[in-house]
Amino acid sequence: MKFSKVITSSIPFQLSTGNHEAHNNFADYKKRFMMPNKQNTENLYYSYDIKNTHFVSVNSEIPYEKQFTPDYILKFTTWLKNDLLSTKKRWKVIYLHRGLYCSRPKDYHCGSSAVLMRDLYEDIINKAKVDLVISGHVHAYERLFPIFKSRIDITSVQDNDNTYYNPSYPTHVTCGTGGNREGYAIYPPGKLSKKVISTHGFCELEITRKKIDFTFVGGANGKVLDRFKIVKDND
Tens digit of each residue's pLDDT (9 = 90 or more) over 76-133:
999 999 999 999 999 999 999 999 999 976 666 677 788 889 999 999 999 999 999 9
What pairs with residue 94 in β-bridges? 56, 133
Q: Reply yes or no on whether the pLDDT at 214 is more than 80.
A: yes
Q: When comparing pLDDT for 4 and 218, which is higher?
A: 218
pLDDT digit string (tens) for 40-74? 999 899 999 999 999 999 999 998 888 899 999 99
Residue ranges of alpha helices (H) inside the chain are 5-8, 23-32, 38-41, 70-86, 112-127
Distance of CA 185 to the CA centre of its chain: 18
Residue-range domain boundaries for the chain: 2-231
The residue-averaged pLDDT of 15-34 equals 88
Q: pLDDT band at 178, cuts 50/70/90?
A: confident
Local structure of residue 24 (DSSP, 8 states): H
Q: What is the per-residue pLDDT for 235? A: 67
CA distance 47 to 49: 7
Q: What is the per-residue pLDDT for 111? A: 74
Local structure of residue 220 (DSSP, 8 states): T
- Find all residues with CB under 8 Å of 140, minimum gap 6, and list them: 174, 176, 177, 184, 185, 186, 187, 196, 197, 198
Q: Reply yes or no on whether the pLDDT at 13 is more than 80.
A: no
End-to-end CA distance of the chain: 45
- Does this model's pTM top 0.95? My answer is no
What CATH code is assigned to 2-231? 3.60.21.10
Q: What is the per-residue pLDDT for 32? A: 84
